[in-house]
Amino acid sequence: MDIATGGPMVAILNQKDAKKLDLHSADRLLVQDRKKDVVCILDISESRKAVPEGKIGLFEEVLDALGVKQGHEVTIKLTGKPESVAHIRKKLYGQPLTYTELLHITDDITHDRLSDIEKTYFVAASFTRGMSIDEIVHLTKAMVETGKQLQFPGITLDKHSIGGVPGNRTTMVVVPIIAAAGFTMPKTSSRAITSPAGTADTMECLATVELSEKKIKSIVSRTGGCMVHGGSMALAPADDKIIEVEHPLSIDAEGQLLASVMAKKYSIRAKHVLIDIPMGKNTKAATRKEALHLKKMFEIVGRKLHMNVKVIITDGSQPIGYGVGPLLETQDVLSILNNDPAAPRDLREKSLMMAGLLLEMTGTYKKGMGKKKAQQLLESGKALRKMHEIINAQGRREMPTLGKYMYTLRSRSSGKVSGIDNAFIAKVARVAGAPEDKGSGLLLNKKVGESVQRGEELYTIYAESQFNLDQALEFLKKKNGYVVR
């Protein structure tokens, strides 16, 4: 059909053939060619032009799996829906799922045996019915079991932020500090879905992030750390496919959030894991009660998986650092590693605090001494040297340039900045082109609590095209994301 689904195996029959065979849309069809066979989700064509009678249309994933070309003859058989569909129905009725049942579902999601509708029902059932602790642990283990698992030398540490705060680029400061301290920190990160930049997008301004498993293992054994795109490693692959379903509805089922985070850590056998829960409006923990609940859940799941998990609740009320967007966030990180006096203090302090806690979790440093060691590694230049070592090992890239189309937003009144809308700032940066355009985003001049005069700069928008800048400026007609009183 010269069409790829990007996942599910799809076959198309003409409606007349489908009627003769009593086949219906979304039925499962076993398509066989010699020794190979593939189970496909059936679609029906009403047009003879698309798929004539006596023909079957195969999407590219099916063509590749069978190794067939135009004109080949294949055999088709009706086959039953995957067993996991019955498990999803069970969850819809509010019944708990066993490890085996969740493994079936996860395996079918991983290998694209479920339709988008079936996957959506699983996500919706988990969201509305909730998941018990046992189910979350089962799902975590099932996600790990259906993907790759990696073992690295030494004591492996990891960290994760549940997100919602623009510019929160602590990973790129923490990893070189931890690696410089002699521990192993192989950081796999996802690309941004709704934010202006993920760690992978930002690190890509400096180095290659799409690397093979063999290359990553080599880098980590030589340098002690890496910052790569996790998608290239197939760690807990079902997770990314579940997130794809959640995204259009903007839902985040708690059980799947916990399993998603913990599965990636469990896949690399991380012994010590630090979880950052930013608390504030537009984050996943809007109130202290929600943040404490999530903290407790992470700790319980961590214990069940025999992992040393520490959870911190941090300020998520405003962006962290000055830059919002891949290149601008990279510049913040480099200014900290270079001990630039003008570096963003909030990002520097949070990174040192997190690195210090991770060092203390290993048992090598007493309480309060971890941060001192992290600060010493940063100020001595050892963390910067380690960062360059990691960049060179991953494959140094030429840094992109800042977008040449820019607009500076100025305050309409004098006073103090009493609030910044994270979601609005993130949206403007994305409309300006981030994260696809590395040089696009926002550079913040003022943070909450700072005084501002009428006409003074609040932030500057950068874009790589006039069109993107104009789109961003459309958003500023109603509000600008800042509250000045």
Active site residues per annotation: 252
Dig out the tokens for 215 from the structure: 């290359």
What is the Cα–Cα distance from 395 to 389, expressed in whole angstroms? 10
What is the 8-class DSSP label of residue 233?
A: G
**Contacting residues for 34 by C-beta, under 8 A, at least 6 apart:** none
Task: Indicate the angle between helix axes 382-394 and 213-223, nearest 10 degrees.
Answer: 160
Distance between terminal CA atoms of the chain? 60
What is the Cα–Cα distance from 229 to 203, expressed in whole angstroms? 9
Place of tokens 């065979």: 21
The rounded Cα 9 to chain-centroid distance in angstroms is 25
**Contacting residues for 319 by C-beta, under 8 A, at least 6 apart:** 165, 166, 167, 168, 420, 422, 425, 444, 447
What is the 8-class DSSP label of residue 343?
A: S
CA distances from 404 to 28, 407, 461 (A): 52, 10, 10
Q: 223 and 389 in contact (C-beta within 8 Å)? A: yes
Three-state DSSP state, 456:
coil
Main-chain phi, psi angles of 335, to 5 degrees:
-65, -35
Q: 445 and 337 in contact (C-beta within 8 Å)? A: no
Main-chain phi, psi angles of 310, to 5 degrees:
-120, 135
Residue 131 identity (one-letter amino acid): M
Q: What's the per-residue H, E or C state across 182-232? A: CCEEEEEECCCCCCCCCHHHHHCCCECCCCCHHHHHHHHHHHCEEEEEHHH
Q: 329 and 351 in contact (C-beta within 8 Å)? A: no
What is the Cα–Cα distance from 455 to 449, expressed in whole angstroms? 18
CA distances from 400 to 12, 60, 403, 440 (A): 44, 35, 9, 10
